[in-house]
Amino acid sequence: MAEKTGEKNIVVNRRATHDYFIEERIEAGIELTGTEIKSVRKGKVQFADSWITIVKGEAWIKGMHISPYEYGNIFNVDETRDRRLLLHKLEIRRLYDKVRLKGFTLIPVRMYLKNGRAKMEIALARGKNLYDKRESAKLRDAKREMEKALKLK
């Protein structure tokens, strides 16, 4: 059987860059059941209010919604159950120390398929204040205006 290659984005958290300063991005595997992976491949995933927490040396994503697979009947599980993220123990310990001591938070940035396996890109982020969001919007608008002016010449 031929293996799939490349990456296919399933869902991207666009609000992450709007609400947070992204300091570091990490790739993590995600533990899913058989019917969940079928729903993920169909793109039935939402990150709306999800976050990542570390409990007893394991990373868990909470609040992520994966719609039930239509043909899964009795094998479907709860849509918003906590799912374990697959990271190395040293990575988890390092992330836990930064979250606990330095005021960072862990958020999901995107979910994608890589070589047929579901992966999640998580970010170590610091929250933005309202004035930071306004500043980011000003910079984005100024950059857009400059590109527009250069394009007209």
The pLDDT assigned to 59 comes to 95
Angle at the Cα of 79 from the Cα atoms of 66 and 108, rounded to 5 degrees: 50
- Residue 128 is inside which H or E element, if any? none
Position 137 scores a pLDDT of 87
Mean pLDDT value of segment 134-139: 88
Q: Taking the mean position of all CA atoms in its chain, how far away is CA 110?
A: 4
pLDDT of residue 34: 85
- Give me the long-range contacts of 82-86 (CB less than 8 A, separation at least 24): 83/30, 83/31, 83/32, 84/30, 84/31, 84/58, 84/59, 84/60, 85/28, 85/29, 85/30, 85/31, 85/52, 85/58, 85/59, 85/60, 85/61, 85/120, 85/122, 86/28, 86/29, 86/30, 86/31
Domain ranges of the chain: 7-152
Say if residue 110's pLDDT is above 70.
yes
Interior/surface letters 117-146, b for 16+ CB within 10 angstroms, e for the rest: ebbbbbbbbeebeeeeeeeeeeeeeeeeee
The rounded percent of the chain whose pLDDT value lies above 90 is: 54
Residue partners of 117: CB distance under 8 A and separation at least 6 = 29
Q: Count of residues for the chain?
A: 153
- From 3.30.70.660, 3.40.50.720, 2.40.280.10, 2.60.40.10, which CATH number describes the 7-152 domain? 2.40.280.10
What pLDDT score was predicted for residue 60? 96
Helices vs. strands in the chain: H and E counts, helices first = 4, 9
**pLDDT per position as a tens digit, 43-96:** 999 988 899 999 999 999 999 999 888 887 777 888 889 999 999 999 999 999
pTM of the model: 0.79
Residue 93: per-residue pLDDT: 94
pLDDT of residue 4: 55
Cα separation, 4 vs 116, whole angstroms: 6
